Amino acid sequence: MFAKFLSLDKEKQDRIINAAMKEFAQKGYDKASTNEMVKEAGISKGLLFHYFQNKKQLYFFLYDHMTQLLVEQIEEKVDKEERDLFIRVRQMALVKLEIFQMYPELFNFAKSIFMETSAEVIHEVGQRGKELLESYFKDFKGDIDFSKFKKGIDVHKAFNIIAWTLEGFGFQQQKKVQSLSIENLDIEEALKEMDEYLDMLRNAFYE
Amino acid sequence: MFAKFLSLDKEKQDRIINAAMKEFAQKGYDKASTNEMVKEAGISKGLLFHYFQNKKQLYFFLYDHMTQLLVEQIEEKVDKEERDLFIRVRQMALVKLEIFQMYPELFNFAKSIFMETSAEVIHEVGQRGKELLESYFKDFKGDIDFSKFKKGIDVHKAFNIIAWTLEGFGFQQQKKVQSLSIENLDIEEALKEMDEYLDMLRNAFYE
DNA sequence: AACACTATTGACCAAGTGGGTCAATAGGAT
DNA sequence: ATCCTATTGACCCACTTGGTCAATAGTGTT
Average pLDDT over residues B109-137: 79
> SS3 for A81?
coil
Nearest to A22 by CA among A41, A9, A8: A41
**What residue of A is the nearest CA neighbor of B154?**
A200
User: At residue B184, does pLDDT exceed 80?
Assistant: no
Q: What is the pLDDT of residues B20-63, one digit of tens each?
A: 999 999 889 998 999 999 999 999 999 999 999 999 999 999 99
Q: What is the DSSP secondary structure assignment for residue B44, as one 8-state letter?
A: -
What positions of strand D are covered by protein, i.e. any atom < 7 Å from a CB?
6-11, 16-22
pLDDT at B140: 63
Beta bridge partners of B154: none
**Interchain proximity B164–A167, CB inside 8 Å:** yes
B54 touches strand C (CB under 7 A): yes
A50 touches strand C (CB under 7 A): yes
**Interchain proximity B164–A160, CB inside 8 Å:** no
A55 touches strand D (CB under 7 A): yes
Q: How confident is the model at residue B132 (pLDDT cuts 50, 70, 90)?
A: low
Mean predicted lDDT score pLDDT of chain A: 90
Sequence-distant (6+) residues with CB within 8 A of A38 are A19, A44, A45, A47, A48
B27 touches strand D (CB under 7 A): no
**What residue of A is the nearest CA neighbor of B204?**
A204
Whole-angstrom distance, CA of residue B197 vs CA of residue B67: 29
> SS3 for B206?
strand
Q: What is the DSSP secondary structure assignment for residue A150, as one 8-state letter?
A: P
B31 at A interface, C-beta within 8 A = yes
CB B79 within 8 A of CB B89: no
Average pLDDT over residues A24-33: 91
Q: How confident is the model at residue A120 (pLDDT cuts 50, 70, 90)?
A: confident
Q: What is the pLDDT of residues A54-100, one digit of tens each?
A: 999 999 999 999 999 998 998 899 998 899 999 999 999 999 999 99
Mean predicted lDDT score pLDDT of chain B: 90
Sequence-distant (6+) residues with CB within 8 A of A107 are A96, A99, A100
A42 at B interface, C-beta within 8 A = no
Nearest to B105 by CA among B75, B62, B49: B62
In A42-84, which ranges are continuous DSSP H helix?
Answer: 45-51, 55-77
B122 at A interface, C-beta within 8 A = no
The closest nt to A7, taking CA to C1', is: C7
B205 at A interface, C-beta within 8 A = yes
Distance between B176 CA and the closest CA of chain A, angstroms:
14
Whole-angstrom distance, CA of residue B69 vs CA of residue B105: 14
User: At residue B137, does pLDDT exceed 90?
Assistant: no
Spans of all domains in chain A: 62-205
User: At residue B185, does pLDDT exceed 80?
Assistant: no
Average pLDDT over residues B191-201: 97
Phi and psi for A103 in degrees, rounded to 5? -130, 85
pLDDT at B133: 64
Chain B residues near residue A175 by CB distance under 8 angstroms? none
Nearest to B120 by CA among B30, B24, B27, B37: B30
The closest nt to A49, taking CA to C1', is: D19
CB A149 within 8 A of CB B153: no
